[in-house]
Structure 1
Amino acid sequence: MRCRFHLIVLTAALLATAACGREPQSGAPPEQAGEISQGKATGEITVWAMGGEGENLGKLAAGFERENPEAKVKVTPVPWDGAHNKIANAIAAGQTPDISLIGTTWMGEFAKTGALRTTPSAFDRNAFFPGLWSTTEIGGKSYGVPWYADTRAFFYRKDMAERANVKPPTTWDELKSFTQALQEKGGAQHGIYLQAVGTGGWQTFMPFGWQAGGNLVDDTGKFTLDTPQMRRALEYYTSFHKAGLSANDRALPGQIEADFVSGKIGSFISGSYHRSLLTKQGGAEFESKYDVVELPKGDSAAGFAGGGNLVVFKGAKNADGAWKFVQYLSRPQVQAEWFAIQADPPAVQAAWQDPKLSGDEKLQVFARQLKVAKAPPAIPTWEQVAAAIDGGLEQAAKGSPAADVLKTMQATATSIGTGN
């Protein structure tokens, strides 16, 4: 899951049921042991994975089974649009698989139920990008392992920039003048597309908030949406909409890449997954017409950290085998192999040095962005808070004063609470 899908929040009744907890199923080692045994994995290891990950993971599991001939990995593909409820219902019923892929923004919610095992010490957090590892941590403990990464970078029409005689931007000031040039001299109807409407706009906006020195919560866990730093970021972000540099309406599925290929928009911010969409829309020859660079900096560099984590449930029948499979999936060479199969950017830093990835300069931009990427707090109520931020973005982009919008965001987030 790349944090760009519609999510459904657990109902209060389900949370209450799941929070009651349950004993591990028969044969599962004590959760508090937190270690992985020596030797090869044995027995059946059940895995739930969503989307293309679920369809293709079996190809990668074959290598694990060759190394562990007495183990068998059983992968169940799960559609993303039903995954949240399926996992929640499995937790409530005490019928979870051994392992599941979980979107990073679901971590706080599911950890709150008490259904996830803590991550064994055998996993080195320093092997992963810091922002990604932080998505596994709730209350000072880790409850999973980052599997693949999602972060955002700046896509722009290289041919339009050459026509307008401008270089790719590295700062906020340059971003404004760059998009103006694409619009006034490069031929774009809109110099940039910055999401203002719909689910997930916060993912594009929050890097600007972090770059301005803002945060979503403070050290005590209280929301900090209404601050001078966040106001500066929101006013800057929505200034593109108010100046006509970015449209402020909802983009239909496929519209961004179609408008980028046609030249209607000159730039946008998105993840590496958009590269294949652009190739599909514009053909292989379109690759030479655009480029990707790191996000222009504010007071500091920052980006969005998301993606998918692997968790092992307390009710796992084969927890030891499950963690060994997660270890296998975390090897740098296996992460690089997975990228070749599924195009999921690696969460393990060393994997980016593999020849499959190191020679692709556009892709390496995302590796550099991941080094400064941050994630929202891993709290059970995050999806509700995110919806409040999305709603505020739309209001501000359509003309509401940033100060008023942030006050409403703050009040709404505070009333929702963190769920901890």
Structure 2
Amino acid sequence: MIRHRLQAAFAVAAASALLVSGCGRAESPEQTGGAAATELSDGPATGTVTVWAQGTEGEALQDFVKPFEEANPDVQVEVTAVPWDSAQNKYQTAIAGGTTPDIGMLGSDWMPGFRSALTPVPDDIDTSDVFPFAVESTQFDDARYAVPWYVETRVIFYRTDLLQEAGFDEFPADWEGLKDLARAYQEDTGAEFGISLPSGGWNSFLGGLPFAWSNGAEVMNEDQTEWTLDSPEMVESLSYLNSFFEEGLADKSPDTESGSASADLVSGAVPMFLSGPWDIPGLELAGGEGFEDKFGVATVPAGPDGTSTSFAAGANLGVFEDAENPDAAWKLIQWLSEPDVQARWFEAVNDLPAQQSAWDDEALTADPRVAVFGEQLQSVKIAPTLVSWTQVSAAADTQVEQIFRGGKDVEDALAELQSTADSLGTGQ
């Protein structure tokens, strides 16, 4: 079962603005009337637990939780698979009407909008082994409002056989080498374009942020009180990406249909693109027998004075205030958080474990390509945990398209973006 999640993984950003009015981090439970954290009862889980989950996770979870039900014979888990394209409306309607499930699968970018509808995580559930960036996405006012379930990051997929044909012994680690490889792919292997890069449209700015972060740029200052979108580092990173389009190494109007990037990599038409772990089985299936030996993955190349840093996201599991069975819900989340369970979940759907110790399992160490994702996860950043980020990101998409497709000056575009972001504010 192959997911088409590049769009879905970014879909979470759009939902948060619709779920609450106002901007910024939520106030404390005392200020908002939020529920106190549940204390887990002793003994097995009982009763019915309702779960909503999107995409492949929603399709696979019902069968996956059977061992939990067997270990807790008086509990019944009911999973509803929710399509990504209607998920935000479904959750929003349920919150407004008090008809939420016990557990919701919430993208990490949704958290600022959903926090007021969730109960704090019980102290019984330990997240000390979870990737810190994932915990950060759940943390508001010194309380956690969800438990990270799986994590995601972006690395570069590339054709290893064509790499040799292009005259490279290994994948380049810096910007200069990446451009040289893109040009060599095009000139020496017959590729139409050397690399696929987002040139405009929804979340195109977010898709290019790994290059900005790898150049030392930041979208905000450390305490998220000021936008820093027009910094010299951001100008340099967008100018670098723009050079791929100006020099004909990347397509200004690429096919954005699901699966098109994978098809182009398999055919050799475009031998490089950025994506997540779900594309490993997808490419193996699309390429057929033996193709698993013809592609690899690599961490994002570092900027001139930067380090390899990529985008991180994922999904969290939260229990709603209107949950009918919060005790059993948290026990199910606790079970799904166990490292061995997360390793089995990876085998089932290719979701990268949020628990770092799960990465020692053979399920993750067997494929060296998965290890590259683990390496990249040691150097990642997340999108700002502000509701206003949705509007800022959309404004950035417009400017990116005007640069890459329309030839707009990078400094002028980022100055306009900075002004727009300042007017939207941070909500702090």
Taking structure 1 as the reference length, what is the TM-score of the superposition?
Answer: 0.91
Aligned to 1:124: 126
1:280 matched residue in structure 2 = 285
Compute the displacement of 1:187 (Å): 2.2
Match of 1:269 among 247, 268, 274: 274
Spell out, residue by residue over 1:229-249, the C-alpha distance to the aligned partner (whole angstroms, 9 max, x if none). Answer: 211111112111111111111
1:292 alignment partner in structure 2: 297
- Aligned: 1:93 with 2:91: no
Shift of 1:79: 1.0
Measured in 1, the distance between the counterparts of 2:329 and 2:413 equals 46
Secondary structure of the 1:126 match is coil
Separation of aligned partners in 1, 2:276 and 2:37: 38
2:392 aligned with 1:385: yes
Tell me if structure 2 keeps the 8 A contact 1:197–1:250. Answer: no
Q: Tell me, which stretches of 5 or more residues in structure 1 are unaligned?
A: 24-29
SS at match of 1:291: strand
What is the DSSP-based 3-state SS (H/G/I as helix, E as strand, rest coil) of the residue aligned with 1:82? helix
Offset, 1:198: 2.1
Q: Does 1:3 align with 2:9?
A: yes
Per the normalisation by structure 2, the TM-score is 0.89
Figure out how many residues of one structure are paired with residues of the other and give that number. 409
1:384 to partner: Cα distance: 2.2
Cα deviation per residue 1:191-222 (whole Å; 9 max; x = unaligned)?
Answer: 11111122222332111111222212112422
**Residue of structure 2 in register with 1:152 after alignment:** 154
Q: What does residue 40 of structure 1 align with?
A: 44
Q: Equivalents in 2 of 1:127, 1:102: separation in Å?
A: 20
The answer on 1:201 being equivalent to 2:208 is no
Give the gaps of 5 or more residues in structure 2. Answer: none
Deviation of the 1:279 alpha carbon: 2.3
The answer as to whether partners of 2:211 and 2:300 remain within 8 angstroms in 1 is no
Partner Cα separation in structure 2 for residue 239 and residue 110 of structure 1? 39
The 8 Å contact of residues 138 and 378 in structure 1, kept in 2 or not, is answered as: no
1:181-220 equivalences in 2 (<5 Å): 181-218=184-221, 219-220=223-224
Question: 1:77-88 residue pairs with structure 2 within 5 A?
Answer: 77-88=81-92
Kindly indicate whether the alpha-carbon contact (under 8 Å) linking 1:258 and 1:281 is maintained by their aligned counterparts in 2.
yes
Question: Structure 1 residue 252: deviation in Å?
Answer: 2.8
What is the Cα-based RMSD across aligned positions, in Å?
Answer: 2.4
- C-alpha distance after superposition, 1:283-337 (max 9, x if no partner): 1322211111111122122111112111111121221211111110001111111
Go from structure 1 to structure 2 and tell me whether the alpha carbon gap of 1:11 and 1:178 turns closer, same or farther (over 3 Å shift). closer
Letter matched to residue 171 of structure 2 = P
User: Could you tell me which amino acid in structure 2 is paired with residue 239 of structure 1?
Assistant: S
Look up the match of 1:412. Answer: 420
Measured in 2, the distance between the counterparts of 1:142 and 1:406 equals 34
Change (3 A) 1:220 1:348: closer
Matches of 1:125 and 1:301, distance apart in 2? 26
The structure-2 alpha-carbon separation of the partners of 1:44 and 1:216, relative to structure 1 and needing over 3 Å to count, comes to same
Assess if the C-alpha contact under 8 Å between 1:7 and 1:84 holds in 2: no
Q: Look up the match of 1:26.
A: none
Alpha-carbon distance change, 64 to 247 in structure 1, aligned in 2, over 3 angstroms? same
Aligned-pair identity (%): 40
In structure 2, the residue matched to 1:69 is: 73
Q: Within 5 A, what are the aligned runs for 1:364-379?
A: 364-379=371-386
- Offset of residue 413 of structure 1: 2.2
**SS of alignment partner, residue 127 of structure 1:** coil
Partner Cα distance (2:186, 2:12) in 1 = 32
SS state of the match for residue 353, structure 2?
A: coil
Report 1:131-170 matches (<5 A).
131-166=133-168, 167-170=170-173
Deviations 1:120-140 (A, max 9, x none): 233333311222222222344
Structure 2 CA distance for partners of 1:198 and 1:276, relative to 1, 3 Å: farther
- Alignment of 1:350 with 2:357, yes or no, is yes
